[in-house]
Amino acid sequence: MINLADVKYDVGVFLPSGELLPLSNVANCLGWEEQSGELAVRLQFRVLNQKFGDGWLHQKLPLGARTILRSNWGEGWQNIHQGVIFDWEYENDSVGVLSVKSYDNLIYLLRSKDDRYYPNGTKADVIIRDIAKAWNIPIGQIDVPSMSLPKQVFRGDTLAAMLEKVLDQVHKRGGGKHVIRASGGAIHVLRQGQNKTVYQFGTDIVRGMTDKQDIEDLVTRVKIVGKENAEGRAPVVATLDGRTEFGVLQDVIYQEQYDTAAAAKAAAQEILKERGVPRKRRTVTAPDLPFLRRGDKVYIAAGTLIGYFVVAGIQHDADSRSMVMEVESV
């Protein structure tokens, strides 16, 4: 049992000498988050600038410096985030304050582009390991089925986009949904919802929740239009229907913009996949569990949310000892 009142946090930065400089006594606005579509976890905090040793505190926090966040929830101090400072901003309005942003090492995959080629039959886990190795990122647990993929050609894509494309193909071939994480300085690719301990959030724990659903951007039918004739008339080549119980909300694509009829049909199917179901955005605010991460499974029984969900995004706020989870149905 976790006593939420006893949860503690500790943030620091490593000096060039390798010595750890604790910042907990001078830091505030401490928080970290990992969101859907954002590969790297972002840590943010503010510190009051002051004299420290032979200089000022801001001189101890240069761009590229390594940060560490730890937490103790009754099981000893555990590493939560290891990062690199990518952004800092100094403001002086009677008091000098330094705002710092630090990302884990997956930021290098998110911010880097490359050309890469993998022949037909290359296994998904081999591609993942090869990309991580090329960027000198230590490889942790790669929980991806040994599945051969068709030829992969990447031209000017971010490395993060390459990994997401590989995992999307694994999912489409029945290999399950996966989440990419950094932990202990290594990259891990884990099947989502496989955490051994599933935490429950009932009305006695949940501080707030939202459940927003809409069909504002819904597409229920896609019409494929062929090449127009001499009179300017264009035939309807095919019509693909989706959730027409919501009425006809139609999009149109033009076959001549694609190399083949099959490619046009695939594009129509992709539209129905991406925009063919109602949008749902569900959030839950609760006391902070510092170790909870995107991809973890939770059980919620509050308001309109009843059942098991997967954390799609999460924001931790150390100052208020609270977190906001965005969740999706399992």
Could you tell me how many residues make up the chain?
A: 330
Considering only 45-49, 55-59, 213-217, 218-222, which range has the smallest mean pLDDT?
55-59
In the chain, how many domains are there?
A: 4
225 shares a domain with 210:
no
Task: Round to whole Å and give the CA distance between 311 and 292.
Answer: 9
Average pLDDT for residues 152-157, to the nearest whole number? 95
Which amino acid is it at 63? L
pLDDT at 208 over 80: yes
Is there a contact between 50 and 57 (Cβ–Cβ < 8 Å)? yes
Q: What domain range is 240 assigned to? A: 221-275
End residue of a domain, out of 41, 76, 104: 104
Residue ranges with strand state E in 93-207: 96-103, 113-118, 139-142, 152-158, 178-183, 186-191, 199-202
196 phi and psi, to 5 degrees?
A: -70, -40
Half-sphere exposure of 36 (CA within 13 A, CB side): 12
Mean pLDDT for all residues in the chain: 93
Is there a contact between 283 and 326 (Cβ–Cβ < 8 Å)? yes
CA angle 316, 186, 112 (to 5 degrees): 85
pLDDT digits (tens, 9 = 90+) for 243-252: 999 999 999 9
pLDDT digits (tens, 9 = 90+) for 42-95: 999 999 988 877 888 888 899 999 999 999 998 899 999 999 999 999 998 778
pLDDT at 117 over 80: yes
Average pLDDT for residues 91-114, to the nearest whole number? 93
pLDDT at 174 over 90: no
81 shares a domain with 34:
yes
Residue among 11, 4, 2, 29 nearest 71 (CA): 11
Considering only 12-16, 35-39, 75-79, which range has the smallest mean pLDDT?
35-39
Query: What is the Cα Rg of the chain in Å?
Result: 24
End residue of a domain, out of 104, 139, 156: 104
| Whole-prediction pTM | 0.87
93 shares a domain with 44:
yes
pLDDT digits (tens, 9 = 90+) for 268-284: 998 998 899 999 999 99
pLDDT number for residue 206: 96
> Where does the pLDDT of residue 202 fall: very low under 50, low under 70, confident under 90, or very high at 90 and above?
very high
Average pLDDT for residues 166-172, to the nearest whole number? 90
284 shares a domain with 235:
no
CATH code of the domain containing 44: 2.30.300.10
